[in-house]
Amino acid sequence: MTLLDSLAAAVGPEHVIADASMRASYETDWTGRFTGRAVVAVRPRDTAEVAAVVRCCAEAGVAVCIQGGNTGLVGGSVPVDGSVLLSLARLDRVGEVDAVAGQVTVDAGVTLARLQKHVRPLGFDVGVDFAARESCTVGGMAATNAGGERVLRYGTMRAQVLGVEAVLADGTVVTRLHGLPKDNTGYDVVSLLVGAEGTLGVLTRLRIRLVPLLAVRTVALVAVDDTAAAVRLVQQARDALPSLEAAELFFADGVALVRRHTGLPAPFADEHPAYLLLECAGRDDPSENLLALLESSADVRDATVASDARGRHALWQYREAHTESINAEGVPVKLDVAVPLRALADCVAKLPSVIPTGRPILFGHVNEGNLHVNVLDARDDAHAVCDAVLRLVASYGGSISAEHGVGRAKQEWLGLSRSVEEIAMMRAIKTALDPRGLLNPGVLLPPE
Ligand code: 2HG
Ligand code: ZN
């Protein structure tokens, strides 16, 4: 039997996509920067079928590249040439909410928006949220340890994933979905698989911690002079506002781009160099304390506040529309870094001077020192741009990937953030679980 025959037997011939034009949407990433040619795209429907697909590939010695919503930004979700593209989009079942524990078990292919819609009517919410919510999948979010806009309050995906079911490189299924918050019985296999970018196993089901739905929300868009002022204001807000949920930073050039792309009006009568978006959420109205903070701060140049859903959405648009507005201008070189918060202002000031070419647009999640560096008109010099930015970040003791992961885009620079000993330890784990390197080859670990 050929590989295609055995895959068709595993998932049904209609879910084995061999035709090049039908495969195309699986083969290029959202930004258009990364692309690869799979021999076939396969769409299993559950863990057993995923295990069967992985076993077929292991027998044939063919690499497996794993894809959720294909919203990844580091080339980790596109296939390498000659691999089998394993799409988890049909693993889309949501379990009943366990209201006693405040948890739910879902398939890896469920989108974040669908999970939110599932749990919110029951008074729960998901701790992680970000702009790609309609397309990104819970499996991909876990595999990349996604962060987003609420890390300040709830942490990254690692803090939300209490259990997983995963298929290992030889087709073995590991199930650990009980979700016990206290469980000291050895290695934390759940946490190991979360953030492993699909290099150690294919996540097929996840046990997700839920947080209370906090329906009373206020968003403030604040104009400030610079990054240092934004950092000062966030520090004060963290102390004064237990309801603080998000603190997002962006700049005049990003707002201009967003306005050009979306047609949004100017947020204030005057243009300002930097903007900070703060969101507070609680059971009681958080707006009084937020307004008091803004009135007392010497760093606020102007501010606008919204508590109704429409108004909040409009203010969030200035921030969340950055990614697609940048892409509308061309394929950017994208980096996603973090520096210690005390160094953030210095890093923002230095970045444009080290970037050898192109038009940098910066924005990010200020409380975590997480900067999204998008460089337009620099595609042909991507390597030099990445090298300059990542070396600057490393000089502050920062991370080359704050939330998008290392993927294929940054594995070459992993040594800037991880010691030789740590990389050797990661390699040993990879070799133990996937000795032939069949799962997501080229992702995360640099070639030896
Ligand atoms: C966000 O924070 C995402 O909106 C995407 O992490 C960032 O487009 C980017 O660079
Ligand atoms: Zn982000």
CATH number at residue 118: 3.30.465.10
| CA 436–ligand 1 middle distance (angstroms) | 33
Q: What is the CATH number of the domain that holds 79?
A: 3.30.43.10
Are both 202 and 155 inside the same structural domain? yes
Are both 258 and 206 inside the same structural domain? no
Residue 334 Cβ < 6 Å to ligand 1: yes
Quick check: is 80 in a domain? Answer: yes
Quick check: is 440 in a domain? Answer: no
Task: Output the residue whose Cα is nearest ligand 1's atom 9.
Answer: 323
Query: Which DSSP helix (H) or strand (E) runs through 189?
Result: helix 189-193
Give the tens place of pLDDT for each residue, 66-78: 999 999 999 999 9
Quick check: is 427 in a domain? Answer: no
What whole-number distance in Å separates Cα of residue 263 and Cα of residue 285?
A: 31
Residue 130 Cβ < 6 Å to ligand 1: yes
What whole-number distance in Å separates Cα of residue 58 and Cα of residue 78?
A: 19
pLDDT for the residue 320: 97
Angle formed by the axes of helices 344-354 and 382-395, nearest 10°:
150
pLDDT for the residue 335: 97
Closest atom, ligand 1, to C-alpha of 364: 2
Total tally of structural domains belonging to the chain: 4
The domain boundary residue, chosen from 271, 295, 322: 322
| CA 395–ligand 1 middle distance (angstroms) | 23
User: Are 380 and 331 contacting, i.e. CB atoms less than 8 angstroms apart?
Assistant: no
Are both 21 and 39 inside the same structural domain? yes
What whole-number distance in Å separates Cα of residue 114 and Cα of residue 381?
A: 38
Q: What residues of the chain score a pLDDT lower than 70?
A: none
Quick check: is 158 in a domain? Answer: yes
Residue 408 Cβ < 6 Å to ligand 1: no
pLDDT for the residue 448: 86
The domain boundary residue, chosen from 166, 196, 212: 212
Can you give the residue range of the structural domain that contains 164?
Answer: 103-212
pLDDT for the residue 31: 82
Q: Are strands 202-212 and 216-224 parallel, antiparallel or unpaired?
A: unpaired
User: Are 200 and 192 contacting, i.e. CB atoms less than 8 angstroms apart?
Assistant: yes
Are both 292 and 378 inside the same structural domain? no
Quick check: is 280 in a domain? Answer: yes
Closest CA to 50 of 100, 98, 89, 96: 89
Residue 77 Cβ < 6 Å to ligand 1: no
Are both 288 and 335 inside the same structural domain? no
From residue 268, how far is each of 144, 212, 222, 299 by CA, in Å? 36, 34, 10, 16
Residue 153 Cβ < 6 Å to ligand 1: no
Are both 65 and 129 inside the same structural domain? no
Closest CA to 401 of 421, 376, 372, 366: 372
What whole-number distance in Å separates Cα of residue 321 and Cα of residue 102?
A: 32
List, edge to edge, every strand of the sheet that includes 40-42.
16-17, 40-42, 84-87, 64-67
Quick check: is 437 in a domain? Answer: no
Which ligand is closest to the CA of 131, given by its number? 1
Are both 171 and 223 inside the same structural domain? no
Quick check: is 293 in a domain? Answer: yes
Are both 311 and 335 inside the same structural domain? no
Residue 318 Cβ < 6 Å to ligand 1: no
What whole-number distance in Å separates Cα of residue 1 and Cα of residue 10?
A: 12
| CA 344–ligand 2 middle distance (angstroms) | 16
Q: What is the CATH number of the domain that holds 271?
A: 3.30.70.2190
Residue 150 Cβ < 6 Å to ligand 1: no
How many Cβ atoms from other residues are within 10 Å of residue 191's Cβ? Answer: 14
Q: Taking the CA of residue 301 as centre, how many other CA atoms within 13 Å lie in the half-sphere pointing to its CB?
A: 16
The torsion angle over the Cα atoms of residues 25, 126, 318 and 151, rounded to 10 degrees, is -110
User: What residues have CB less than 8 Å from 178, skipping those under 6 apart?
Assistant: 163, 207
| CA 333–ligand 1 middle distance (angstroms) | 12
Residue 121 CB burial class (10 angstroms; 0-12, 13-18, ≥19) = exposed
**Residue 322 phi, psi dihedral angles, 5° rounding:** -55, -50
Q: What is the CATH number of the domain that holds 401?
A: 3.30.70.2740
Are both 23 and 118 inside the same structural domain? no
Are both 312 and 403 inside the same structural domain? no
From residue 146, how far is each of 71, 157, 235, 275, 362 by CA, in Å? 11, 6, 23, 24, 19
Query: Which DSSP helix (H) or strand (E) runs through 252?
Result: helix 252-262
| CA 365–ligand 2 middle distance (angstroms) | 7
| CA 373–ligand 1 middle distance (angstroms) | 9
- With the C-alpha atoms ordered 73, 411, 17, 331, is the resulting torsion angle positive or negative? positive
Q: Taking the CA of residue 95 as centre, how many other CA atoms within 13 Å lie in the half-sphere pointing to its CB?
A: 17
pTM: 0.96
Are both 207 and 222 inside the same structural domain? no
Which residue reads 């109704």 in tokens? 308
Quick check: is 425 in a domain? Answer: no
What whole-number distance in Å separates Cα of residue 19 and Cα of residue 39?
A: 9
Measured CA angle at 437 (ends 34, 163), to 5 deg: 85
From residue 64, how far is each of 33, 61, 67, 86, 370 by CA, in Å? 21, 10, 10, 6, 31
Are both 258 and 270 inside the same structural domain? yes
SS3 294: helix
